[in-house]
């Protein structure tokens, strides 16, 4: 009773991490996030809007350090979201 093993999934953590295959800095993106880049980019843009709103409110109350903190978070979220969208667009163009 020796059945053929049809398990073709990744066998080690390294193989799991590299599916789907990515190059360079794209390996910093979690695999489950990489499979849904447009969705997570939208979440990052929404988070940037929330952080920018909180930063603006902090500016209105003259809480300068907090305003700088939240506006920096908003800028980082916009940059990461734009990066993920560019990866998604280049993957769609290559397909």
- pLDDT tens, residue order, the chain (95 aa): 555 655 565 566 666 555 666 666 676 777 778 788 999 999 999 999 999 999 999 999 999 999 999 999 999 999 999 999 998 888 777 66
Give the Cα separation of 89 and 34 in Å (integer). Answer: 13
The answer as to whether 19 is a domain residue is no
The answer as to whether 85 is a domain residue is yes
Record the pTM: 0.73
Our count of domains for the chain comes to 1
Q: Which domain holds residue 68?
A: 34-94
pLDDT given at position 35: 81
The answer as to whether 3 is a domain residue is no
The answer as to whether 63 is a domain residue is yes
The answer as to whether 25 is a domain residue is no
């Amino acid at each position: 009773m020796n059945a053929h093993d049809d398990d073709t999934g990744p066998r080690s953590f390294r193989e799991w991490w590299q599916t789907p295959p990515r190059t360079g800095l794209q390996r910093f993106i979690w695999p489950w996030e990489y499979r849904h880049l447009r969705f997570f980019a939208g979440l990052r843009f929404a988070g940037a809007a929330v952080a920018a709103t909180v930063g603006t409110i902090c500016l209105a109350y003259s809480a300068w350090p907090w305003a700088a903190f939240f506006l920096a978070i908003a800028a980082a979220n916009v940059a990461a979201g734009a990066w993920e969208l560019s990866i998604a667009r280049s993957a769609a163009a290559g397909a």
